């Protein structure tokens, strides 16, 4: 049967069994489409990275002999919609069978399933052969449980895949080395330069502009530095293992005004577009550690591996267990809009200014900036999670809904009421000061809770707990906060709440 096989933009897995041999009766299709560029306003670097990686992938596959149809964004025969394009191709080329790789996004999964029901030819879906788990493994693992504890899932992953195991025991006799990690960065060791090379993406950018696609952020067209093919992804991984892994865990949560990337791997785009697989990444990390255990200790390695085989697979499993209801969750019933400075970085709060400006210039912020700075503030501002999701889904190079929404709506906004996390990630200026040098260079005073130049995080923090007492007080992990709050004098409480109220009313001026 003449078969049409669909490859989506985040399915660039060269090692997939589909490509093991060239088949005469199979044609592959890849498409740049407005339905994908317009479902949210994306960062210009994100659209550029996807289109560049897709084009490079199709050229390489063609050179290996595979028959590829590639629709560029401005092609006149591009209908800009997935079902419309596929329907047209089936009619024009007389395909008798349609195959696709399982999408990672619910939106696309539904769209393609619907299309397959309607179309007259036969169809089937196959796995992307990328993740270590299947879509519904998490749902099975946590059947009947209200809360899905990541730690339990992670230990099972370690055992099932025999990763960092000594027989039945974890290497180093501990599953988790967090308390040895997570230091503030005070320049103790130099940070190696961010891995980079020159890729000229000006042609792709020209096409995006010609198409009139609305984007956010900025791009350096001649010096774009995200990996867009497998070779570059492997180079990123190699650089990480050699230069950054030795301090990855130690400074995993650190933030610094002059350092955007610290010891992070910046591999998320390559992973999420499937240029590199989690399995091979983990193997490389373990090999680097085995070869150089004087320089790299277990705490660094375990810290990294937990992110890749723990958090990443876990978030995907939550997504498939909880969609589509997850996308509407709003536990705190927040309705406020996201402050304007999320789109400009123009705020006097140094931590926010740095994290947002970096997101707009680099399409990147590391985990703690996303969680404890911008996410934390959005939560303290009692922002509608729809608004928060739109920002995160647009701004980051690695943002694909399955991993964005679970992190944003779940981990960062606690809008799921405690599926992903057991309590909201909230902090006052204390945490910012402890983990970064942002506060020393800030207009606001991190030590002040009320009055002129008091750091907004401080009063908003108490205001949040006070506002949501009914929803949080019974949570064992938070009860202590309420005891501290109750011990404050009425005057102190009133001052804090008045300050917070003022800030919430003038949030765009902060
Ligand atoms: P490193 O710090 O070097 O970590 C290595 C890898 O571990 C990452 O590339 C990533 O694949 C994985 N990882 C680490 N933490 C997580 C996590 N919490 N969930 C899933 N995978 C993780 N990650 C995305 O890939 N896409 C997103 O859209 C996204 N949105 C986020 C939104 C919020 C509010 C938060 C708090 C986190 C989000 N993350 C997201 C998770 C994490 O911040 C990024 O994966 C990470 O910053 C990517 O940079 P890196 O490759 O340098 O990561």
Q: Tell whether 202 and 271 lie within a shared domain.
A: yes
Domain assignment present for 334: no
Range of the domain at 396: 340-509
Q: Tell whether 293 and 376 lie within a shared domain.
A: no
Check whether 467 has a pLDDT greater than 90: yes
- Let me know: does 313 contact 133? Beta carbons within 8 Å: yes
Spacing, Cα 268 to ligand 1 middle (Å): 6
Q: How does DSSP assign 395-438, residue by residue?
A: H-TT--HHHHHIIIIIIIT-TTSSSS-SS-----HHHHHHHBSG
Whole-number pLDDT of residue 123: 98
Q: Tell whether 377 and 312 lie within a shared domain.
A: no
Q: Answer yes or no: is the C-beta of 230 below 6 A from any ligand 1 atom.
A: no
Please name which of 449, 475, 428, 151 lies closest in space to residue 332, comparing C-alpha atoms: 475
The mean pLDDT of the chain is 96
Q: Tell whether 295 and 387 lie within a shared domain.
A: no
Q: Tell whether 212 and 313 lie within a shared domain.
A: yes
Structure confidence by residue, pLDDT tens digits, 67-125: 999 999 999 999 999 999 999 999 999 999 999 999 999 999 999 999 999 999 999 99
Angle at 45 between CA 372 and CA 261, to 5 degrees: 40
Of 264, 294, 322, the one marking the end of a domain is 322
Q: Tell whether 352 and 467 lie within a shared domain.
A: yes
Q: Answer yes or no: is the C-beta of 369 below 6 A from any ligand 1 atom.
A: no
Whole-number pLDDT of residue 81: 98
- Let me know: does 306 contact 276? Beta carbons within 8 Å: no
CATH number, domain containing residue 106: 3.40.50.620
Domain assignment present for 331: no
Q: Answer yes or no: is the C-beta of 366 below 6 A from any ligand 1 atom.
A: yes
**Separation in Å, CA 144 to CA 132, 136, 203, 320, 414:** 23, 14, 52, 16, 21
Whole-number pLDDT of residue 8: 98
Q: In this structure, what are the phi and psi dihedrals at residue 6, rounded to the nearest 5 degrees?
A: -95, 130
Structure confidence by residue, pLDDT tens digits, 263-305: 999 999 999 999 999 999 999 999 999 999 899 999 999 999 9
Task: State which of 251, 398, 400, 411 you would mutate to test the pocket of ligand 1, scoring each by most atoms of that ligand within 8 A of its C-beta.
Answer: 398
Of 256, 291, 322, the one marking the end of a domain is 322
Q: Tell whether 35 and 66 lie within a shared domain.
A: yes
**Where in 127-228 does DSSP place strands (E)?**
165-166, 169-170
Q: How many residues does the chain have?
A: 510
Check whether 247 has a pLDDT greater than 90: yes
Mean pLDDT of 326-351: 98
Q: In this structure, what are the phi and psi dihedrals at residue 71, rounded to the nearest 5 degrees?
A: -100, 120
Of 102, 126, 150, the one marking the end of a domain is 126
| The two structure tokens encoding residue 208 | 């995006």
Q: Tell whether 374 and 265 lie within a shared domain.
A: no
Give the contacts of 39 (CB within 8 A, at least 6 positions apart). Answer: 107
Query: Where is average pLDDT lowest: 42-46, 192-196, 215-219, 304-308?
Result: 192-196
Task: State which of 282, 403, 408 you would mutate to test the pocket of ligand 1, scoring each by most atoms of that ligand within 8 A of its C-beta.
Answer: 403
Domain assignment present for 131: no
Q: Tell whether 373 and 454 lie within a shared domain.
A: yes
3-class secondary-structure state, position 293: coil
Q: How does DSSP assign 361-395, residue by residue?
A: HHS---HHIIIIIIIHHHHHTTB-HHHHHHHHHHH
Q: How confident is the model at residue 327 (pLDDT cuts 50, 70, 90)?
A: very high
When divided into structural domains, the chain yields a total of: 3
**Rounded CA gap, 352 and 374, in Å?**
6
- Let me know: does 102 contact 57? Beta carbons within 8 Å: no
Task: State which of 306, 367, 395 you would mutate to test the pocket of ligand 1, scoring each by most atoms of that ligand within 8 A of its C-beta.
Answer: 367
Query: Where is average pLDDT lowest: 176-185, 257-266, 379-388?
Result: 176-185
Check whether 221 has a pLDDT greater than 90: no
Q: Answer yes or no: is the C-beta of 371 below 6 A from any ligand 1 atom.
A: yes
Whole-number pLDDT of residue 91: 96
Q: Tell whether 170 and 240 lie within a shared domain.
A: yes
Q: Answer yes or no: is the C-beta of 370 below 6 A from any ligand 1 atom.
A: yes
Please name which of 324, 508, 391 lies closest in space to residue 43, comparing C-alpha atoms: 391
**Rounded CA gap, 377 and 329, in Å?**
19
Q: In this structure, what are the phi and psi dihedrals at residue 436, rounded to the nearest 5 degrees?
A: -150, 175
3-class secondary-structure state, position 166: strand
248-270 burial: b if 16+ Cβ within 10 Å, else e: bbbbbbbbbeebbbbbbbbbbbb
CATH number, domain containing residue 402: 1.10.579.10
Domain assignment present for 461: yes
């Amino acid at each position: 049967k003449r078969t049409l096989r669909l490859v989506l933009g985040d399915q660039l897995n060269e090692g997939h069994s589909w490509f093991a041999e060239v088949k005469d009766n199979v044609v592959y299709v890849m498409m740049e489409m407005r339905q994908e560029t317009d479902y949210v306003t994306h960062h210009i670097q994100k659209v550029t990275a996807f289109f560049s990686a897709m084009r490079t992938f199709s050229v390489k596959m063609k050179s290996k002999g595979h028959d590829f149809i590639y629709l560029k964004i401005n092609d006149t025969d591009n209908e800009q919609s997935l079902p419309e394009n596929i329907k047209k191709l089936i009619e024009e080329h007389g395909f008798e069978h349609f195959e696709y790789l399982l999408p990672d996004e619910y939106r696309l999964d539904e769209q393609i399933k619907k299309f397959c029901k309607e179309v007259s030819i036969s169809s089937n879906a196959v796995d992307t052969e990328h993740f270590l788990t299947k879509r519904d493994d998490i749902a099975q693992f946590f059947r009947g449980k209200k809360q899905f504890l990541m730690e339990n899932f992670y230990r099972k992953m370690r055992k099932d895949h025999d990763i960092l195991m000594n027989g039945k025991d974890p290497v180093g006799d501990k599953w988790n080395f967090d308390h040895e990690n997570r230091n503030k960065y005070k320049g103790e060791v130099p940070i190696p330069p961010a891995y980079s090379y020159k890729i000229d993406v000006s042609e792709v950018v020209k096409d995006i502009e010609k198409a009139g696609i609305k984007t956010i952020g900025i791009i350096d067209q001649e010096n774009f530095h995200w990996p867009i093919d497998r070779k570059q992804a492997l180079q990123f991984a190699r650089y990480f293992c050699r230069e950054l892994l030795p301090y990855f865990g130690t400074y995993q949560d650190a933030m610094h005004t002059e350092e955007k990337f610290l010891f992070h791997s910046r591999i998320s785009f390559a992973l999420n577009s499937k240029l590199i697989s989690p399995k091979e990444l983990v193997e490389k990390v373990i090999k680097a550690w085995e070869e150089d255990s004087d320089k790299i200790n277990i705490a660094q390695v375990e810290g990294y591996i937990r992110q890749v085989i723990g958090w990443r697979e876990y978030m995907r499993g939550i997504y498939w267990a909880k969609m589509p209801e997850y996308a509407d969750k709003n536990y705190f019933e927040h309705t406020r809009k996201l402050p304007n400075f999320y789109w400009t970085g123009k705020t006097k709060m140094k931590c926010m200014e740095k994290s947002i400006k970096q997101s707009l210039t680099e399409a990147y912020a590391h985990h703690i900036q996303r969680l404890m700075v911008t996410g934390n503030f959005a939560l303290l501002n009692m922002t509608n999670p729809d608004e928060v999701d739109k920002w995160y889904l647009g701004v980051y190079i690695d943002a694909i809904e399955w991993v964005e929404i679970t992190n944003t709506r779940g981990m960062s906004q606690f809008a799921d009421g405690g599926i992903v996390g057991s309590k909201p990630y909230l902090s006052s200026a204390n945490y910012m000061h402890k983990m970064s040098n942002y506060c020393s260079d800030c207009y606001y005073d991190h030590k002040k809770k009320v009055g002129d130049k008091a750091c907004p995080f401080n009063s908003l923090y108490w205001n949040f707990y006070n506002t949501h007492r009914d929803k949080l007080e019974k949570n064992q992990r938070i009860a202590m906060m309420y005891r501290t709050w109750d011990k404050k004098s009425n005057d102190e409480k009133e001052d804090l709440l008045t300050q917070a109220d003022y800030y919430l009313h003038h949030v765009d001026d902060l």
